[in-house]
Amino acid sequence: MAYIDYYKTLGLSKTASANDVKKAYRKLARKYHPDLNPKDESAHRKFQEINEANEVLSDPEKRKKYDEYGENWKHADQYEQARQQQGGGFGGGGGSYSYEDFSNFGGGGFGGFDFGGGGYSSFFENLFGGSGRSSGRSAYKGQDYSGEVRLTLRDAAQSHQQTIEVNDKKLRITVPAGVANEQQIKLKGQGAPGSNGAPAGDLYLTFIIQPDPVFKRNGNDLYVEASVDVYTAVLGGDLMIDTLDGKVKMKVKAGTQPGSKARLKGKGFPVYKKDGQFGDLIVTYNVQVPTHLTEKQKKLFQELQQNK
């Protein structure tokens, strides 16, 4: 694969913060996601490049290696190992070579050597103690993948199984009840295959929970608005309230003020990986003032006003 400038891929400078990387990745991943571009091969390739760039730049250790070694960052450990085996330098002269010095060998850094199974230069084999083709090969863990799983609030409120597709491979995952927006999980060994017997990379999934038209979520608590007529607000009474489990009846206290709140214990969002535990449901009352009164009703309100 041709060299990809990860910073350029995400439209960032090398001074970009971790938060800048996160924002740029999300924006571009949504734009080029295969679900939104099902027949666009160029968008699919772009999406893969964006994931690869994010996988490196969002990991502090990988980003450090990439910044230092550029396109050869994956082989940084081999370079460091070789340097240490040579007592801090190459050639036995006592002096330590920089990466720039090392890159002069083989016509351009590690890229001048064949890592895939072709011939190896005698310098490279001697450097790593190899003799022959098989001993010169190195094993590398496969590349990590990352992706997003979009859920409704109600989907996130219950454990369920979901099928996702990663590089034409279908995976069935279990989504635990109570996952948070932007929460990430790791599926070990579900990334790209490793080379020469090394383990496969991992798959990192980020859950994106879409806004709900009825409920607002804050941690494990849910918030909902309820309309109350002025008569019930003044005199008290019963009111049907929406919850994730359906409607429930609650008592409205006499003299309830507009904007006041009531709490329903245990009627909120399930607590992540804690069976039977839930947050609360906070109800905000919106008192509805009647706009079309009969003459008789107006007189009654006038009497109340005079006797206050």
Q: What is the pLDDT of residue 92?
A: 39
Residue-wise pLDDT for 164-195, tens only, equals 887 778 899 999 999 999 999 999 998 888 88
Measured distance CA(29)–CA(34) in Å, rounded: 9
Q: Over 80: is that where the pLDDT of 298 sits?
A: yes
User: What element of type H or E holds 151?
Assistant: strand 145-151
User: What element of type H or E holds 264?
Assistant: strand 261-264
Measured distance CA(66)–CA(6) in Å, rounded: 9
**Residue 20 half-sphere exposure, CB side, CA atoms within 13 Å?**
10
Contact call for residues 139 and 195 (beta carbons, < 8 A): yes
Measured distance CA(177)–CA(191) in Å, rounded: 25
Residue-wise pLDDT for 218-269, tens only, equals 999 999 999 999 989 999 999 999 999 899 999 999 999 999 999 999 999 9
Give the tokens for residue 3.
Answer: 């060299």
The model's pTM: 0.54
Measured distance CA(259)–CA(30) in Å, rounded: 37
Residue-wise pLDDT for 50-96, tens only, equals 888 898 999 998 898 888 877 777 776 766 666 665 554 444 333 33
